[in-house]
Chains A and B, each alone.
Chain A
Amino acid sequence: MKNQWIEFLYGRVIVKVSGKGLERFLNVLTRNGLHIWNVKRHGTETITFKIRVQDALKIRKFARKSDCKISFLQREGAPFLLKRLWKNSGFMLGAAAFIFIIFLLSNMIWGIEINGAKPATEYQIRKELDKMGVKIGKVQFFVANVEGIQRKLTNNIGALTWVGVELKGTTYHLQVVEKNEPKKPEQFSPQNLIAKKKAIIVKMFVESGQKVVDIHDHVEKGQLLVSGAFGQEDNPELTAAKGEVWGETWYKSHVELPLVTKFKVYNGKEQQKHFLLLGNLEVPIWGFGKPEFKHYETEKNVHNIRFLKWELPISYVNKTIREREVYERSYSTSEAEKMALELAKKQIKSSLEEDAKIKDEKILHKAMENGKVILDIHFKIIENIAVGQPISKETPDDRKINNH
């Protein structure tokens, strides 16, 4: 028997023949090269068989010469199936639209939940999310991924310390930790102000308490600056000493700066590639060919495709390939020195409190070694050196002795 599938593809017809001389009729058909199969007899005067569609038209010619009546019972095979499909294309369209809509709805954002934020911050977050395009009803593909949202939110909203963004199904859950600016503790307990560093005092503002040292005094670390005890010596009244004591302090810093530095920078050229990830197989959809860049970095964004509550093993991958260039920065010696000094200043500033000022800097030592500029710099800084120290019951007496 020949391959049935070929006949299925071309289409076949079930023919019913009735009358006399059926066998003769069959012989005629076969001798004329018509392919017949599945011949069955039903009763004395009827047989049915299958025939190819292209032969079905020829069969009438032979039937006319014989005393048989033919009728076509059923049409089978791909062409008829397709015809029926086409006829019922509304159904197909409906089914396709249904699946498409479910897909779309499964990949939409349906909710944004924000936990742990004050109403004001929540409003701010919602506004920021709106700006990013994270809105209810948006399709997730066109929205930045979770890490991106997290980064943007923390960068753009000052009141946030940390925000955890999690995508659960179609809902974004945001867990927010706000910066709780610590309130200045109202100091009711008695305290002294002492020096936190060795310094020469430049300015003093005392709100409460009794000055123990004066401007131009040299103080050591831990030395008492403003006393919280005043009044009679045997029975002193205790208060919380408050104020600022500005002193000149000294720092030494060591900087090394190479004359030639190589940087890796992006030069702005990029290439987008789109893939469909099937299991582990990446099928490119758009953006073919190897990247034309010599040095490049690839950023990969994977969007999972969801169907109802299931995650499909298919995901959409978007790759951004950015060209990288090596940029060489070289300084002359004098430039390098300047830059090193700036660098040192920045380092010092970052380690100090914000209101500290650099009064003066002096280069103690300068050297060139292995293509590096090495500087030792001495900084004079004016900063608040006062820190509180609580007075315990015993300490007033000891301190008094020390002071006098």
Chain B
Amino acid sequence: MAKKWGQRVRNWMANKMDLPQDVMMDLPRITMIGQIHIYVENHRGLLSFTDKELRLLLKQGQLLIKGKGFVIKTILPEEILLEGKIDQVIYINDIAGGTK
């Protein structure tokens, strides 16, 4: 009950007080600098990492990043900075229940 109330209050606050959605609703915030850097906040963990592909777990679904020569510059519990040549950023929604 309390959690639901909290959710509702948050949603209301985000709408009324003009607060950023990612803070209020635990959505990932993705910042890209051209093709070379991608910075993802609010992820829920690393699923797979090769030099061509990075898969991140989100609160809802996954994020798939494809490209070349990937190097994780920094990784923190909820943030990741990836360097390389990024070709695609794909949201995967349908297998959200399956992986975790």
Task: Contact check, B50 vs A41: say whether CB atoms are below 8 A apart.
Answer: yes
Which among A1, A44, A47 is the interface contact of B81 at CB below 8 angstroms? A1
For B48, the closest partner residue in chain A by CB is: A23
The residues in A between 274 and 323 inclusive whose CB is less than 8 angstroms from any CB of B are none
CA distance A36 to B49 in the complex (A): 14
The distance from the CB of A158 to the nearest CB of chain B, in whole angstroms, is 84
- In the assembled complex, 7 residue pairs joining A and B whose CB atoms fall closer than 8 Å, in A order, are A1-B73, A23-B46, A23-B47, A30-B46, A44-B50, A47-B49, A49-B72
Which among A2, A38, A41 is the interface contact of B49 at CB below 8 angstroms? A41
The residues in B between 33 and 58 inclusive whose CB is less than 8 angstroms from any CB of A are 45-51
Size band of the A side of the interface? 10 to 19
Task: Contact check, B71 vs A36: say whether CB atoms are below 8 A apart.
Answer: no
Whether A37 touches B73, Cβ cut-off 8 Å, given contacts A1-B81, A27-B46, is: yes
Interface of A, helix, strand, loop or mixed by DSSP: mixed
CA distance A38 to B80 in the complex (A): 11
Kindly count the residue-residue contacts between A and B in the assembled complex, taking CB atoms under 8 Å apart: 47
Task: Contact check, B76 vs A38: say whether CB atoms are below 8 A apart.
Answer: no
The distance from the CB of B63 to the nearest CB of chain A, in whole angstroms, is 14
B75 at the interface (CB under 8 A from A): yes
Task: Contact check, A1 vs B49: say whether CB atoms are below 8 A apart.
Answer: no
Whether A23 touches B72, Cβ cut-off 8 Å, given contacts A1-B81, A30-B77, A31-B77, is: no
Report, nearest first, the 3 A-B pairs whose CB atoms are least far apart: A39-B72, A27-B45, A23-B46
The distance from the CB of B13 to the nearest CB of chain A, in whole angstroms, is 28
B contact residues around A44 at 8 Å (CB):
50
A contact residues around B50 at 8 Å (CB):
41, 44
Task: Contact check, B76 vs A30: say whether CB atoms are below 8 A apart.
Answer: yes
CA distance A35 to B80 in the complex (A): 11
